[in-house]
Structure 1
Amino acid sequence: MSWSKKGRQLKQKLKQVDWYLYFGLLFLLSVLVTITWGGLKLHGLLNDADALPIEAIAVKGERKFTTDEEIQTALQSLMQSSFFNADVVDVQRALEGLPWVYHASVRREWPAKFKVTIQEQQAVAHWNGQAWLNVNGEVFDAVGYPELTDLPMLSGPDDMAEEVLVSYGQLDDLLKINGFKLTSLRLSPRHAWQAELANGIKIELGREDKMTRIQRFINVYPTLQQSEKPVAKVDLRYDTGFAVGWDDTNKRTEKK
């Protein structure tokens, strides 16, 4: 076989290989286009609130101070989204941004329902006159309600709120078993404790040994009651003694 004949055969084989390559690339390209087009259509469908709407939202959790209107406002962004593209994290943050909401959870439930669970703040005390303390000693701001008026008045630096709440519980327990009621406790910027009882008596406890000093007040109070004048203030910031301020304007009260 001559070299020219062999060359022609080689060229024919190369042309065949080129056509196979072209057809293969064309097929691959068509597959990629189809996948891309399908992905775009699917993306559009999943984000179409009309095609895949959220049909129901179930709100659970005991609520006293969080209104339906507040929840509806927080869920507006959710209702404008489709079932699949709704951002549950954003909705959760919006709900937890409501004044009386402590924690919220949002989850999808197939085929077109969302479940929202709300846990409200549990206020246990007024804080610094304008805010509140919850059961964990955390400060939060919210509008007050009449049923919360009688909560104790606590105050102090915000970063000491938990300690103030714990100290209030300890002092109140000790006073309560002796017939007194603690209505106010303040921690000054210098970390000095000041208490007030339901009968209006103010007690200076200083910075140390507040439990020992409040016990000293309990022990000495029967003696103070023998005076014709009612007690207005007791200063217990002394190691062994105390100072008494008498109320010269009000009549004696037996209320503790």
Structure 2
Amino acid sequence: MPVSWADVGQRWKLKLTQVDWYLFFGLMFLLFVLLGLSMAALKLNLVVNDADALPIESVVIKGTREKTTDEEIQAALRDLMRRSFFSADVNQVQAALEALPWVYQASVRREWPAKLKVYLVEQQAVAHWNGDAWLNIHGEVFDAPAEDSVGPLPFLAGPEGQSQIVLTTFRQLGELLDINGLNLNSLSLSPRHAWHASLDNGIMLELGREDKMARVQRFINVYPTLVKQPKPVATVDLRYDTGLAVGWENAQKESH
């Protein structure tokens, strides 16, 4: 039986109608899924950033502390603790703690469900630097208030950026003097790179720019002779290729 063009058109119209409904329902389903995901993401974001919903309940501090108090740590973290557990930036917490004067390094990590764990390493001062600053064991300069728990330390001085060189030189000269029964009390490097040292017995050493170790050894060699003199030694100028010049304490007082 022959099929008319009208029948063909009717069939295609029916198929297109079915396809349109399938497409419509498919798009509606996809829209509802995306809407649901968006709402879930928004709610999750609100919870994550809501300090009341998931607050930081405690901060555990580990590490040996002698100079950094609990009050200083609480003050440093006060604003950061108002955030939620997830929104708290551990890098900001670390930076806030390392900004404390006697803190050398801080490491911070989250611990579920609502705790921050902090490990602190304090500065280890080995010398005074340029009067009111400090040097740590790495020769790095840091500023911190005076601390009673820090024992007597040597006094070092020098131009900016020379702290490590000065500390290294102090250790080298100090070791040489120590094995010979003498103690180095202070060392300074002038802007013209000349070295000046003083011993704990009050003797000042002028070492100049070069051959510091050799010049100190020259002083050590003549020291037994110097202390036998009737007048106390005030200064020893070692800035000579051979020999030295001695300044006597009484002579300096008389000149004043």
Counterpart in 2 of 1:41? Answer: 43
Counterpart in 2 of 1:59? Answer: 61
**Amino acid of the structure 2 residue aligned with 1:61:** G
Q: What do residues 7-38 of structure 1 show as CA deviations (whole Å, max 9, x unaligned)?
A: 12111211111111111111100000000001
Counterpart in 1 of 2:238? Answer: 236
Distance in 2 between residues matched to 1:130 and 1:177, nearest whole Å:
30
Q: CA deviation at 1:149?
A: 5.7
TM-score by length of 2: 0.94
Counterpart in 1 of 2:141? Answer: 139
Match of 2:29 among 23, 27, 30: 27
Q: What do residues 211-242 of structure 1 show as CA deviations (whole Å, max 9, x unaligned)?
A: 11101101111211232211111010111111
Distance in 2 between residues matched to 1:150 and 1:108, nearest whole Å:
39
Question: For the aligned residues, what is the CA RMSD?
Answer: 1.5
The yes-or-no answer on 1:112 pairing with 2:114 is yes
Q: CA deviation at 1:249?
A: 6.3
Distance in 2 between residues matched to 1:52 and 1:225, nearest whole Å:
73
Q: CA deviation at 1:99?
A: 0.5
Q: CA deviation at 1:78?
A: 3.3
Matching of residues 123-202 of structure 1 within 5 Å = 123-148=125-150, 150-202=152-204
Aligned residues: 251
Q: CA deviation at 1:207?
A: 1.1
Which stretches in structure 2 are left out of the alignment for 5+ residues? none
**Amino acid of the structure 1 residue aligned with 2:249:** D
Counterpart in 1 of 2:82? Answer: 80
Distance in 2 between residues matched to 1:230 and 1:147, nearest whole Å:
34
- Secondary structure of the 2:171 match is helix
Q: What do residues 192-220 of structure 1 show as CA deviations (whole Å, max 9, x unaligned)?
A: 11100111111011111111110110111
Q: CA deviation at 1:69?
A: 1.1
- Secondary structure of the 1:89 match is helix
Between the two proteins, what is the percent identity of the paired residues? 63
Q: CA deviation at 1:250?
A: 8.6
Structure 1 segments (4+ residues) deviating >4 Å: none
Distance in 1 between residues matched to 2:192 and 2:251, nearest whole Å:
31
TM-score by length of 1: 0.94
Distance in 1 between residues matched to 2:194 and 2:152, nearest whole Å:
24
Counterpart in 2 of 1:227? Answer: 229
- Secondary structure of the 1:159 match is coil
**Amino acid of the structure 1 residue aligned with 2:166:** V
Distance in 2 between residues matched to 1:147 and 1:5, nearest whole Å:
103
Q: What do residues 95-131 of structure 1 show as CA deviations (whole Å, max 9, x unaligned)?
A: 0000100000111111221111110000000000011
**Amino acid of the structure 1 residue aligned with 2:49:** N
